């Protein structure tokens, strides 16, 4: 048999590895700063760029797309060529991919703290960055598929299947969820509104977890766990079955993020059913990973790499059991909007993603540098500190979530809320927040130990930048990698039918989407009107400041919520909401019915210093709103964009919108003067107050005054 010499590019792998470590530490540090602000809001030093609502998306984006993202690419660029016995398709594309992805991260790290956000969780980046992501993702795709097509192994090992599914699905999710109309450079409105936007967002959000945090990591597990244990995977057959089952089921589970919301009931039930079904393929993967070590558990005692991997796979099993549990409506009624969700995602993020990444790094870096790990002892210390960190992180948050959920729902025997003041339920769980931040610190400390350990390892060894290996030469095979000729199709009616269907559907979607979207903007509640220009500007400030990070706008149909907040939310109330702002966490109370509840002056003073109005509040101050001048040059463009999306402003309205805006601002400014607050009408706070006072008031008259909320 002829032998060929090929070279694997280890430099790109190393670079992605370095990026994983650096961005991981940054992302975790930002998370820690955010966590401490939950009980010590002054830590933001009254700086906009350090305020919780601005850095929370920095934390989530950094750990998901920077830490986990780079770890995925590191693993793919290492394992894919070796599984295919072919070098990566193009070194140039590898370079472009690496630097393009780092550029995206830097753009995110700059734009998010500044308040350039779409408000959609894990898709906060604004449209120019969205385009950049698409370009870099396509580069990655070409590089990956090019390598697969040029492979010397006929059989694609199961890890490759996971990588392929990741790429395909993330592409679709990103495109569909990022359909938006640019208004200005760095500001856009999504084409979807209200309930529809919520559904698209959580279809995306859930699948981002599925296809960015799960499927690539399963692929990584299937490569690195057997490698590290030097044992074949427990059942290759199971890996293939659970792969196909997982990807077919995962995509339908998104609506479980919207249980008891204004989403139609059937869609909620669909989400629940598929979520419960997901236990089977998820646990198939977990068991396959753990059983690989059967009869070899002595290796786990000795190998720190395997220790990390075992905990990772176990955490995956726990998180994927808990997820379906939280998708059951009766559990969700308690858990939703509380810290339970945060605990749940951190079992996955810290345990599954974090520990698997650490395990892979400890295995990979010494190999790339042709040396031994600098210190096994230090790595073991990292393992125990990190493990302890996870426990100390999640347990208090479970406790906090359940405590707060129960307090929100508790009534006295007389039938009134036992804790009518929301703040009481927050202050109750503050000690838990303190403990959580200790857990987070430990986890971060562990990561820093790892970075030190691996840096010393790198220093001791030397990078094998280009690994020359001998592989059997490619046969002039009759099995060319991809023979998708039409002739072949003709002989296969079923695939042909499906492909034709796909082609038709794509055309149909392009044609139909705009029609759907605009039609659906016709209000079903006659009392619901578009926002005034000032309210619209105020709403964009609400988005910029990230109010939705801590405040929901979704009163669920429970007596405990209608008593506390007012009339429950109706789908028809959101038809002009581009984007929807339902939120996913109630660190503060729901704001759906906050309109007209407090005087303007209350809001003014509350933004200046929340503790002056509610002593003990953990909300940050937003003093810059009081001095910033509202940018009204964008009003016309915003109105025009809304009109394009079907919001029924009178046609020539955009030109005179600022006139109405000034009028409404003057009224609020005059009212503030009554409360002896001297606030010129051109300040941002005026617009924000206008929006807050409008919220949820449209149907107040229509529903006969039932909307009077609790205190």
Instruction: Count Cα atoms within 13 angstroms, Cβ side, for 48.
Output: 17
- Smallest distance, Å, CB 253 to other proteins? 11
Backbone torsions φ then ψ of 150, nearest 5 degrees? -95, 15
CB burial of 357-394 (b: ≥16 within 10 Å; e: otherwise) equals bbbbbbbbbbebbeeebbeeebbebbbebbbebbebbb
Pure H helices in 115-251: 127-149, 158-177, 194-208, 215-229, 236-250
Instruction: Decide whether 2 or 45 has the Cβ nearer to other proteins.
Output: 2
| Nearest-approach distance from CB 90 to other proteins, in angstroms | 20
Q: Of 123 and 342, which CB lies nearer to other proteins in the complex structure?
A: 123
Residue 691 Cβ vs other proteins, minimum distance, rounded to whole Å = 25
d(CA 349, CA 363): 20
| Nearer to other proteins (CB atom), residue 132 or residue 471 | 471
- What six digits make up the tokens of 75? 């693993």
Pairing, β 466-472 against β 180-184: unpaired
Minimum gap (Å) between residue 306 Cβ and other proteins = 14
- Closer CB to other proteins, 171 or 428, in the complex: 171
| 383 token code pair | 């393992």
Smaller CB separation from other proteins, 116 or 204: 204
Contact between residue 93 and residue 80 where contact means Cβ atoms under 8 Å apart? no
- State the nearest-atom distance from the C-beta of 199 to other proteins, in Å: 6
Report the residue number, 325 or 513, with the smaller CB distance to other proteins: 513
Nearest Cα residue to 433 out of 470, 466, 467, 394: 394
Rounded to the nearest whole angstrom, what is the least distance from the CB of residue 574 to other proteins in the complex? 12
Q: Which two tokens stand for residue 375?
A: 């210190």
Residue 498, number of CB atoms within 10 A of its CB: 11
Q: What are the residues facing 4 on neighbouring strands?
A: 471
Minimum CB separation of residue 702 from other proteins in Å reads: 22
Tokens for 292?
A: 């690989």
Give the alpha-carbon dihedral of 193, 196, 202, 208, to 10 degrees: -80
Please state the closest distance from residue 237 (CB atom) to other proteins, in A.
5
Q: Which helix or strand (DSSP H or E) is residue 56 part of?
A: helix 52-61
Decide whether 506 or 702 has the Cβ nearer to other proteins.
506
How many CB atoms sit inside 10 A of residue 249's CB?
A: 20
Full DSSP string of 493-522:
HHHHHHHHHHHHHHHHHHHHHHHHHHHTTS
Residue tagged 């792998």 (tokens): 13
Let me know: does 35 contact 440? Beta carbons within 8 Å. Answer: yes
Residue 504, both tokens: 């038709």
Nearest approach, Cβ of residue 8 and other proteins (Å): 8
3-state secondary structure (DSSP) of residue 558: coil
Of residues 158 and 591, the one with the C-beta less far from other proteins: 158
Contact 463, 14 (CB under 8 A): yes
User: Nearest-CA neighbor of 176 among 119, 144, 134?
Assistant: 134
CB of 502 to other proteins, least distance (A): 5
CA–CA distance, 598 with 704 (Å, rounded to integer): 20
Half-sphere exposure of 475 (CA within 13 A, CB side): 7
Residue length of the chain:
711
Smallest separation (angstroms) from other proteins to the CB of 164: 8
Instruction: Count the Cβ atoms, other than its own, within 10 Å of residue 543.
Output: 20
For other proteins, give the closer residue by CB, 203 or 374: 203
Rounded Cα gap, residues 599 and 622, in angstroms: 18
Residues lying near other proteins in the complex (CB under 8 A): 5, 8, 82-83, 85, 153-158, 164-165, 168-169, 172, 176, 192, 195-196, 199-200, 203, 223, 226-227, 230-233, 236-237, 240, 244, 247-248, 251-252, 264, 267, 294-295, 467-471, 479, 494-495, 498-499, 501-502, 505-506, 508-509, 512-513, 516-517, 519-520, 571
Q: Closer to other proteins at the Cβ: 5 or 330?
A: 5
Q: 479 or 676: whose CB is closer to other proteins? A: 479
Tokens of 363: 């295995």
Structure tokens of 67? 């830490």
Shortest separation between residue 319's beta carbon and other proteins, angstroms: 23
Which residue lies nearer to other proteins by CB, 63 or 195? Answer: 195
Nearer residue to other proteins within complex by CB, 266 or 650: 266
Residue 294 or 301: the one with the smaller Cβ distance to other proteins is 294
How deeply is 345 buried, as exposed, middle or buried, from its count of CB atoms within 10 A (0-12, 13-18, 19+)?
A: middle
Nearer to other proteins, 42 or 497 (CB): 497
**Structure tokens that stand for 429 in this block:** 């769980």
For other proteins, the closer of residues 95 and 474 by Cβ is 474
Supply the minimum distance, in Å, between the C-beta of residue 41 and other proteins: 37
The residue (of 295 and 711) whose beta carbon lies closer to other proteins is: 295
Say whether the peptide bond before residue 329 is cis (omega within 30 degrees of 0): no
Q: How far is the CB of 478 from other proteins (least distance, A)?
A: 12
Q: 515: burial class by Cβ within 10 Å (0-12, 13-18, 19+)?
A: exposed
Quote the crossing angle between the two packed helices 52-61 and 91-114, to the nearest 10°. Answer: 170
Give least dist CB 5 to other proteins, A.
5
Cβ 181 to other proteins shortest distance, Å: 16
Minimal distance, residue 11 CB to other proteins, in Å: 17
Q: How far is CA 680 from CA 553, 632, 655, 668, 686, in A?
A: 29, 14, 23, 9, 8
């Amino acid at each position: 048999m002829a032998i060929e010499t090929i070279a694997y590019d280890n430099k790109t792998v190393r670079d992605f590895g370095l990026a994983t470590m650096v961005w991981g530490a940054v992302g975790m540090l930002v998370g820690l700063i955010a966590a401490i602000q939950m009980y010590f809001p002054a830590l933001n030093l009254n700086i906009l760029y350090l305020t919780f609502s601005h850095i929370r998306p920095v934390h989530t984006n950094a750990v998901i797309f920077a830490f986990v993202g780079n770890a995925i690419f590191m693993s793919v660029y290492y394992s894919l060529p070796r599984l295919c016995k072919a070098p990566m398709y193009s070194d140039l594309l590898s370079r472009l991919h690496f630097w393009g992805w780092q550029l995206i991260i830097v753009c995110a790290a700059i734009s998010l703290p500044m308040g350039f956000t779409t408000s959609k969780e894990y898709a906060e980046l604004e449209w120019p960055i969205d385009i950049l992501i698409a370009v870099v993702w396509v580069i990655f795709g070409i590089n990956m598929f090019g390598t697969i097509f040029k492979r010397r192994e006929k059989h694609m090992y199961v890890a490759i299947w996971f990588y392929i599914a990741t790429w395909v699905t993330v592409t679709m999710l990103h495109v569909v969820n990022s359909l938006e109309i640019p208004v200005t450079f760095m500001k856009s409105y999504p084409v979807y509104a209200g309930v529809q936007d919520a559904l698209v967002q959580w279809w995306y959000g859930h699948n981002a977890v599925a296809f960015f945090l799960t499927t690539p990591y399963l692929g990584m597990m299937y490569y690195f766990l057997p490698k590290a244990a030097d044992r074949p995977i427990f059942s290759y057959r199971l890996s293939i079955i659970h792969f196909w089952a997982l990807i077919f089921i995962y995509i339908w589970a998104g609506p479980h993020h919207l249980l008891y919301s204004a989403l139609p009931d059937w869609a909620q039930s669909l989400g629940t059913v598929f979520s419960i079904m997901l236990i089977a393929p998820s646990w198939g993967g977990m068991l396959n990973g753990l059983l690989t070590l059967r009869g070899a558990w002595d290796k786990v005692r000795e190998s720190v790499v395997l220790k990390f991997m075992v905990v990772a796979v176990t955490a995956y099993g726990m998180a994927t059991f808990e997820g379906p549990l939280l998708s059951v409506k009766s559990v969700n009624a308690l858990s939703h909007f509380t810290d339970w969700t945060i605990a749940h995602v951190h079992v996955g993020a810290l345990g599954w993603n974090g520990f698997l990444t650490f395990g892979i790094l400890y295995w990979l870096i010494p190999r790339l540098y042709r040396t031994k790990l600098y210190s096994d002892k230090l790595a073991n210390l990292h393992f125990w500190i990190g493990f302890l960190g996870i426990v100390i992180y999640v347990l208090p948050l479970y406790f906090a979530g359940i405590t707060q959920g129960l307090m929100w729902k508790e009534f006295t025997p007389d039938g009134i809320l036992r804790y009518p003041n929301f703040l009481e339920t927050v202050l109750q769980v503050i000690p838990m927040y303190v403990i959580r931040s200790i857990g987070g610190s430990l986890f971060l400390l562990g990561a820093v130990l790892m970075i030190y350990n691996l840096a010393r390892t790198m220093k001791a060894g030397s990078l094998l930048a280009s690994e020359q290996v001998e592989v059997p030469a490619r046969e002039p095979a009759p099995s060319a990698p991809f023979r998708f000729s039409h002739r072949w199709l003709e002989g296969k009616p079923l695939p042909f039918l499906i492909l034709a269907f796909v082609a038709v559907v794509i055309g149909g979607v392009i044609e139909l989407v705009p029609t759907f979207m605009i039609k659906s903007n016709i209000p079903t509640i006659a009392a619901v009107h578009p926002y005034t220009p000032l309210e619209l500007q105020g709403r964009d400030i609400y988005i910029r400041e990230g109010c939705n990070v801590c405040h929901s706008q979704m009163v669920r149909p429970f007596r405990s919520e209608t008593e506390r907040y007012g009339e429950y939310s109706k789908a028809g109330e959101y038809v002009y909401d581009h984007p929807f702002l339902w939120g996913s966490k109630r660190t503060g109370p729901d704001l759906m019915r906050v309109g007209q509840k407090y005087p303007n002056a209350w809001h003014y003073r509350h933004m200046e210093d929340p503790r002056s109005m509610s002593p003990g509040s953990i909300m940050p101050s937003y003093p810059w709103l009081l001095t910033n001048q509202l940018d009204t040059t964008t009003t016309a463009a915003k109105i025009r964009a809304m009109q394009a999306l079907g919001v029924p402003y009178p046609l020539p309205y955009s030109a005179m919108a600022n006139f109405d805006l000034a009028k409404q601002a003057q009224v609020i400014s005059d009212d503030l003067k009554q409360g002896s607050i001297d606030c010129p009408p051109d300040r941002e706070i005026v617009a924000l107050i206008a929006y807050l006072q409008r919220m949820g008031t449209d149907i107040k008259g229509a529903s006969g005054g039932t909307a009077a909320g609790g205190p």
